[in-house]
A = this chain, B = another copy of it.
Amino acid sequence: MRDGEVTRRRFLQSVGVSGGAGALFATMGALGLAPARAATPKFCPPHPSDFRLTGRAARKIVILGGGIAGLTAAYELGKAGYDCTVLEARDIAGGRNLTVRGGTAETDLDGHTQRASFSPGTYFNAGPARIAQWMVTLDYCRELGVPIQPFVNANADALIYNEGDGAPVRMRTAKADLYGYVSELLAKATDQGALDGRLTAEDRERLLSFLEDFGDIGPAHEYTGSSRRGFTAYPGAGENTGTPLPGPPSLSDVFASDVGRYLSFEFGYDQAMMMFQPVGGMDRIVTALTAAAGRQRVRLGARVLNVTGRASDVTVTYRQDGRDHAITADFCIATLPPHLMAKVPHNLGATVTAALAGFFPFAAGKIGLEYRNRWWENDLRIYGGATQTDLDIAQVWYPSHDFHARRGLLVGYYHFGPAAETYGALIPAERTARAVAQGVKIHGEKYRSELDSAFSVAWQRTPHLEAAWAYPPWDDSTGFRLLLQPAGRVYFAGDWLSQAVAWQHGAFLSARAAVTALHQRVLTS
Contacts and interface: CB of A to CB of B under 8 A. Distances in A.
Contacts of A233: 39-40
Contact of A403 (B148, B224, B500): B148
A103 interface: no
Interface string A136-166: 0010011000011110101111000000000
A267 B150 CA distance: 20
Contact of A235 (B36, B182, B499): B499
Interface string A29-59: 0010101111110000000000000000000
Interface stretch (A92-100, A308-316, A378-386, A446-454): A378-386
Interface string A373-417: 000001001111100000000000000100110000000000000
Nearest to A183: B182
Q: Which of A199, A211, A228, A263 has the most CB of B within 10 A?
A: A228
A156 B274 contact: yes
Q: Which of A154, A175, A235, A244 has the most CB of B within 10 A?
A: A235
A241 B230 CA distance: 40
Interface string A184-202: 0110111010110011101
A479 to B, nearest CB: 12
A224 B35 CA distance: 20
A510 B237 contact: yes
Contacts of A135: 234
Interface string A167-185: 0000010011011001001
Given A157-B274, A186-B185, A269-B234, A239 B35 contact: yes
A383 B230 contact: no
Contacts of A141: 404
A497 interface: yes
Interface string A497-525: 11110000010011011000000000000
A149 B152 contact: no
A351 interface: no
A240 B40 contact: yes
Interface in A233-288: 233-244, 251-252, 255-256, 258, 260-261, 263-264, 267-269, 272-274, 276
Contact of A404 (B10, B147, B150, B202): B147
A362 interface: no
Contacts of A243: 37, 39
Interface size of A as a range: 35 or more
A218 B261 contact: no
A380 to B, nearest CB: 9
B238 A513 contact: yes
Contact of A237 (B40, B150, B240, B255): B40
B226 A6 contact: yes
A68 to B, nearest CB: 13
A178 B480 CA distance: 36
B252 A382 contact: no
Contacts of A206: 255-256, 258, 260
Q: Which of A7, A186, A211, A400 has the most CB of B within 10 A?
A: A186
B218 A272 contact: no
Given A240-B38, A240-B499, A274 B385 contact: yes
Given A185-B207, A274-B157, A403-B149, A7 B40 contact: no
A91 interface: no
A230 B384 contact: no
Contact of A273 (B154, B213, B378): B154
Contact of A155 (B213, B227, B274): B274
A269 B229 CA distance: 7
